[in-house]
Amino acid sequence: MYRENWKSKLGFILAASGSAVGLGNLWKFPYESYSNGGSAFILLYLIAVAVTGLPIMMAEIFIGKSTNRNPIGAFKALHPSAWHFIGWLGILSGFIILSYYSVVGGWTLRYFFQTLTGAYLSMSDQGISGDFVSFLRNGQSQLFFHSFFMLGTIAIVIFGVRKGIELSGKIFMPILVILLLAMVFFSMQTPGFGKSMEFLFQPDFSKITAQSIIDAMGQSFFSLSLGMGAIITYGSYMQKNEPVIKDAITIVFFDTSIAILACLMIFPILFSYKIQPAESIGILFTTLPMIFLKMPAGIVIGPIFFLLVIFAAITSAVSLLEVVVAYFIDEKKWPRKKATLFLGIAIWMLGIPSALSNGGWNWLTKIQFIGNRNFFDTLDYIATNWMLPVGGIFIAIFTGWIVSVEIRDDSFARDHKMAYQFMIFLLKYITPGLVLLILLHGTGVI
């Protein structure tokens, strides 16, 4: 059966970057590093990216590229045994993550409309913060925007690999970078800039706890789209003779730079206008309208910027849906349209309780799951801090120890030999053990 592929090598890199760069960079990373004390957390994050993120990125591209199959089919093709359970774990993670990811994607839609209609023009900074809190309690409104976000995601995936995923990455990624740089430039002019630089770049290690180490590692998986087969799936649309290591480095570097830039954009505003840390998950959504009010042409730039946040989010959501869809297309022979609609709707339904968990369904709001988390936070916690790292451990072990060395060498042969040897060393001896250690440490086992 004909299987789609990327039109160009750049197409793959931009699509994979589109998957990686998303709400994880713009929304989650700033608030997680803010609530974990800034610089020390960022340092831990960078270590995680280098020691676990990069080798696993490479492993996933390799697994996809060498098989041209969805995650489950790929493991089956490389090793005839039970290893394809990693693919199943990945599909389950994709299902869970997209369900609540789309709810936050809906928030970005709402903020686009709010800034477009000038809703914040007459509001004080407190008013803008208060507006976020009341929106969070408004389950119906969140459900409404969640539905639209999911609809957009479905529409792109229906168009397929080249006309949907590749094209959206090619258009949205470059514009995002330019606007983000412009925003950082404006943030640098605010009075809190100096203080935010200290916060960002002078590590205070007393802030580090076992939990923040887990968070930093989980975040590195989440932000790089690793541990569940999204990159395997995107890699599977590559041509056989394309290099792996350079692409992996490019994507990882790009994603990490965007995360740091997002902090450079947001923290100066936080330090300039004293926003309550309690609203941490609202950091992105409250700081931006504030700076738009203060910068020249903010009325125009505001909605444009939120539009780009939507695009960043949607190119990531697309990759989550594509993992699940690719399985049904490859293995169950479903047509793309049927698979996308059916699975998209199922994921939308799973997202409903997340949309309503801060208000809307009062009984659900009252239930607390693991460690005082509501439904939404619990899904994020389980998927990001557990399912992705566990998936990552197995992907590393599989690539380091299980897969045939010939296939692996063949896939990398044209690539940088030294870097390849080093990556395999990490995958074999360092990455899986380190991730496991951090997980066990976080649970208090060791």
Which C-beta is closer to ligand TRP: that of 230 or that of 269? 230
In the complex with ligand TRP, the residue whose CB is nearer, 227 or 360, is 227
Tokens of 335: 């047509």
Q: Closest CB to ligand TRP among 361 and 386?
A: 386
Nearer to ligand TRP, 97 or 343 (CB): 97
Q: Is 120 helix (H, G, I), strand (E, B) or coil?
A: coil
Backbone torsion region of residue 357, taken as left when φ is above 0, otherwise alpha when ψ lies between -120 and 50, otherwise beta: alpha
Provide the minimum distance between the beta carbon of 90 and ligand TRP in the complex, in angstroms, as a whole number: 8
Cα distance between residue 95 and residue 107, in whole Å:
19
The residue (of 199 and 221) whose beta carbon lies closer to ligand TRP is 221
Beta carbon of residue 175, minimum distance to ligand TRP (angstroms, whole number): 17
Tokens of 91: 């599909």
Residues 150-181 as b or e (16 or more Cβ within 10 Å = b): bebbbebbbbbbbebbbbbbbebbeebbebbe
| Residue 321 C-beta: closest distance to ligand TRP, Å | 9
Residue 25 or 99 with smaller CB distance to ligand TRP: 25
Which is nearer to ligand TRP, 238 or 321 (by Cβ)?
A: 321
As a whole number of angstroms, the distance between CA 314 and CA 19 comes to 9
Distance of alpha carbon 225 from its chain centroid, rounded? Answer: 5
**Residue with the two structure tokens 């390849």:** 420
Q: Locate 330 and state its tokens.
A: 């490859």
Report the residue number, 71 or 73, with the smaller CB distance to ligand TRP: 71
CB-nearest residue to ligand TRP: 24
Pick from 19, 61, 70: which is nearest to 329 by CA? 70
The tokens describing 292, both together, are 């738009």
CB of 49: closest distance to ligand TRP in angstroms? 12
What's the closest the beta carbon of residue 52 comes to ligand TRP, in angstroms?
14
Contact present, 103 and 404 (Cβ < 8 Å): no
Residue 276 burial (CB count, 10 A): 12
For the beta carbon of residue 33, count every other beta carbon within 10 angstroms: 29
| CB contact at 8 A, 78 and 67 | yes
CA pair distance 105, 20, nearest whole angstrom? 15
- Contact between 251 and 226 (Cβ < 8 Å): no
Nearer to ligand TRP, 223 or 354 (CB): 223
**Least distance in angstroms from the C-beta of 338 to ligand TRP:** 22
Smallest distance from the beta carbon of 225 to ligand TRP, in angstroms?
A: 4
Q: How far is the CB of 247 from ligand TRP (least distance, A)?
A: 16
Q: In this structure, what DSSP letter does residue 371 have?
A: G
Q: How far is the CB of 234 from ligand TRP (least distance, A)?
A: 9
Closer Cβ to ligand TRP, 19 or 287, answer by number: 19
Q: How far is CA 66 from CA 283, 291, 406, in A?
A: 41, 47, 12
Q: What is the binding site for ligand TRP (CB under 6 A)?
A: 19-20, 22-25, 97, 222-223, 225, 228, 230, 316, 319-320, 388
CB of 337 to ligand TRP, least distance (A): 22
Residue among 347, 415, 314 nearest 66 (CA): 415
